[in-house]
Amino acid sequence: MAGARVDPEQRAAVVARLTALRQAGSLTTAHVRTAASGLRVGERTVWRWLGTTGPGRTGPARYELTPTDREAFAYFRGNIAALARARAAVRSGLGQVAGTPVPDFLATGWANAPAVTLRTLQRAFERQLTPAELAAWRTGEQGRRAASVYLTRPVTGRNVVWELDHKQLPILVLPPRGPAVCPWLTSVIDDGTRALVGWAIALTPHTGTVLTALRTALLVDEQRGPFGAVPAMVRVDRGLEFAAAAVKDALAALCVHVHQLPAYHAHRKGKIERIHQSMEQTLLTGLPGYTKGPRDASGRLHGPLSDAARDRAAAETTGLAPMRIERFVTHRFAPWVTWYNTQRPHSALAGRTPAQAWTDDATAVQRLDAAQLRHLLLAGVERTINKDGIRFNGLAYVAPELHGRRGQSVHVRFMPHDDRFIEVYLDGQHLCTAHPQGQLSPEQVEAFRSHARDESRRLGAARRRASARTRAELAPMTDDEPDAAESRLVPAAGARDLLGRANDDMLRRRAKTNLLGLIDPTASQKSTR
C-alpha cells in the first residue's frame, strides 16, 4: 500500500484539508489515518506530505534544488552520485573529489550549502526535473525527444499528402558486381491511408531512386492495387537527393507543393518511420543476412552469413552467398509491399487495410497517363547506339526506332531495379522505349524487322527519285552557244521553253552520254562539215 500511486490533484486536496485542520488546532491522528486509508497510502506518507513526522512533531522540509545543483547535474551529465560526492567534498573543504579539483563555479555555489544525503538529492531531482530534462543530460537529444509529447497531424483524405524518406535496409544482398552490401530503400507513403504507394531500391540513394519511386506512386498498376494519382503536397527531409533540381522540377511540373522538414526531426514524418519498422519486423528479421540479428562473442552474426568486410568480398566465391538484389526485390520485397497494402489490417485505419481505406475514401484524385510521366525517370545518362543497340547495365537494348541510327548519342532514362525497358531520348525528345535483346517477344522481333524493311524500301525509293531528278535537270549547253564544252544545271521547265518539245529527247540523250564520257555522234557530224 505504501507504493501506491496517488493522483497529484487528489493529494493536493488532502494536504490542503489537513493543513487547514492543523492551523485550526484540531488535527488528530484519526484525521491522518482516515486520509491515508482513502488514498491507499501509509500514515507516515501523509505525515511526510504535511512536513511532520507525527502529531505535534515537525519534520524536515523537502529539499529544493538550487541553481548550482542544476548546473552540477548538467556538468556531471546526469550522474547524481558524482554530484553528491563533489558537493560533500566542497562542504568538507577538500576542494577535490576522486583526485580531480571541483570546478570553481560549483565550489562557490556550494560554499554554504546544507548537508543532504544522496537519496535526498535523487528524490529532489526526480521530483523537480521533468523526464525530458533528466534524459537530455543523461542520454542526449534523442532521449529528450523520446520523453517529449508531440502534436498529431490532422486527418487528411487519400492522396492529399505524401511522405518520402530513405532507409538503409539491414539485410545483405549481392549486387551485379562487387561484394555484398546493404541496399537503400526510397519510400513514398500516402498520409491518409498509410499505403506504401511507391518505392525504389538501389545500392546508394540518388536522384534516380527518388524519381523512380515518385513515378511508381503516380502510375496506376492493377497488380499493386487501386493507388496512383497526383498528390497536393509531399513532405521530405533535407537529404540532398530530395533537394535535387530534377526532383523539384518534376514535382513543380505537376504543381505539387514540396514541404521540406527540419533536419533530424524523425517524428515529423512518423508514419513512414512506422512503416519502415513494420517492414523490418515482418520481413527482414526472417531473411538470411539480417544484420541486426544476434552475434557471437567475436561480433559475428549468428547464422550462415557474415557482414564482415572480408566475408562480404568472398561471398560470391563461396557457397554461402546472400541473395541477389534482383531476387530480393522481385521475390521478397515486392510481394511484401502487396501484402502490406492489401492484406495487413491497420489499427489507425479502424482495422482496415490501406487498400480498403483508399477505396472507402471519396476524395477526388487526378490520374495521369504513363506517357506523361516519362520525364520522372532518371535523365542524363548518355550512351551511343551500337550495331547491337544501346549497351546499358550489361544488356543490349533495341527498338525499331533505333534502326539506322548507329553512332548517334542518346540519353537513357531508366528505373534502378527494373531492366525490362529503358526510355531513349534524342535532342531532348522522346525517341522510343527500348527492350533488351534476348527478351523480345515474337511481336517485337517482327516489328523490328518490319521497320528495318520499311526503312530500306523508303531510302531506296528516295535514292531512285533523287537520281532521276538529277538526270532530268542536268542539261549541257549546245555548240552554238559560248562555252560549248561546259555544262550546267538548268530548270527542266526552262529547258523545254528554250529548245521546244522536239529537242527534249536529244537533250536527255546528250546529257546521259556526256555524263558517261561518250562523244555525241551528231556533234562529230557537224564538225566534219
Domain parsing of the chain, residue ranges: 8-58, 67-146, 161-360, 379-440, 475-528
Most distant CA atoms of the chain, gap in Å: 163
Instruction: Please tell me what DSSP assigns to residue 402.
Output: G
Counting DSSP H helices and E strands in the chain, the numbers are 20, 17
Please provide residue 64's backbone torsions phi and psi, each rounded to the nearest 5 degrees: -105, 130
Banded model confidence at residue 517, pLDDT cuts 50, 70, 90: very low
Contact 241, 247 (CB under 8 A): yes
Judged on CB neighbours under 10 Å (0-12, 13-18, 19+), 319 is: exposed
Joined grid coordinates for residue 508: 536527255
Give the fold, CATH level 3, of 161-360: Nucleotidyltransferase; domain 5 (3.30.420)
DSSP 518: P
Is the distance from CB of 178 to CB of 324 less than 8 angstroms? no
Predicted confidence (pLDDT) per residue in 38-65, tens digit:
888 888 888 888 875 445 445 556 788 9
Strand, helix or coil for residue 149: coil
CB 305 within 8 A of CB 225: no
Per-residue pLDDT of 287-325, as tens digits, reads 888 898 888 888 888 777 777 777 777 666 666 778 888
The domains spanning 161-360 and 379-440 adopt the same CATH topology: no
Nearest to 239 by CA among 276, 210, 197: 210
Cβ atoms of residues 231 and 161 within 8 Å: yes
Note the CATH architecture for domain 379-440. Roll (2.30)
Q: At what angle do helices 67-75 and 80-92 cross, to 10 degrees?
A: 120
Q: Residue 250: pLDDT above 80?
A: yes
pLDDT of residue 86 exceeding 80, the answer is: yes
Phi–psi pair at 188, nearest 5 degrees = -130, 120
For residues 224-250, average pLDDT: 85
β 395-398/233-236 pair status: unpaired
Kindly compute the dihedral angle of the four CA atoms of residues 355, 357, 358, 360, in this order, to the nearest 10 degrees.
Answer: 120
Give the bridge partners for 165, in sequence order. 187
- Contacts of residue 465, Cβ cutoff 8 Å, sequence gap at least 6: none
Enumerate residues 6+ apart whose C-beta is below 8 A from 221.
Answer: 228
Is residue 93 within 8 A of residue 50, CB to CB? The reply is no
pLDDT one-digit tens code per residue, 349-368: 999 999 999 999 988 888 88
